[in-house]
Amino acid sequence: MDILYADNRILVCLKPAGVLSTDEPGGMPALLREALGDARACVRTVHRLDRPVGGVMVFARSRAAAALLSAQVRERRFSKEYLAVAEGCPAEPSGRMEDLLLRDTLAGRTLVVSAPGKDVQPAALSYRVLAQAGGLSLVLVSLETGRTHQIRAQFAARGLPLAGDRKYGAAREGPLALWSYRLAFDHPQTGERLTFSHLPPEEGFFAAFSGTCIFAGSGVQ
């Protein structure tokens, strides 16, 4: 486990792609307990990443910390930014996407729909194109809501599926090009505003942008 920060209330780490976020055998809490050397350690999931998505996550180390962090998520005081590689290029270099989403649990997909209805939820994000290469766009995405598969569904609905996301119509095969890049939240004990960020490995579809300033030490401004 790559642990970025730990104290008696929170633990910030890098979730590997392919690992579940939830507390079950082989999931992140179990792996973190193993890394801490304490099979009974309190490690609680307060936000999730899709299984094929890697990147920065924070876990609570007490019931009270979990409740306070979860409240920040609900009240949208918990900031989440992602790096994604999309096939094609958005019409505008930056903008906002706002849609109605419906989760199809049988198909395991999230659909963009045109009208309100049962189980339909509003979803919004903002994005900024950082670089382009070989028909791909490296995009910084800031979530306003946290719906299941939200980024994947909203970009695919505009003809911009994330590279490697065959479930949502991507033409290119490979690992899903979506990474949890930056989190910001209030520490559940001190109230201090904390920010943690980490670039994705320069592999898969992200390797197409290894020569850009983003991967040259300056990160995303």
Catalytic residue IDs: 50
Residue pair 135/88 in contact by the 8 Å Cβ criterion: yes
* Maximal C-alpha separation, the chain: 50
Residues in Cβ contact with 39 at an 8 Å cutoff, skipping those fewer than 6 apart = 33
Q: How far is CA 129 from CA 91, 104, 150, 164, in A?
A: 10, 29, 18, 18
Distance in angstroms (rounded) separating the CA atoms of residues 31 and 39: 9
Three-class DSSP category at 6: strand
Q: Return the H-helix or E-strand segment holding 2.
A: strand 2-6
Closest CA to 123 of 109, 111, 140, 105: 111
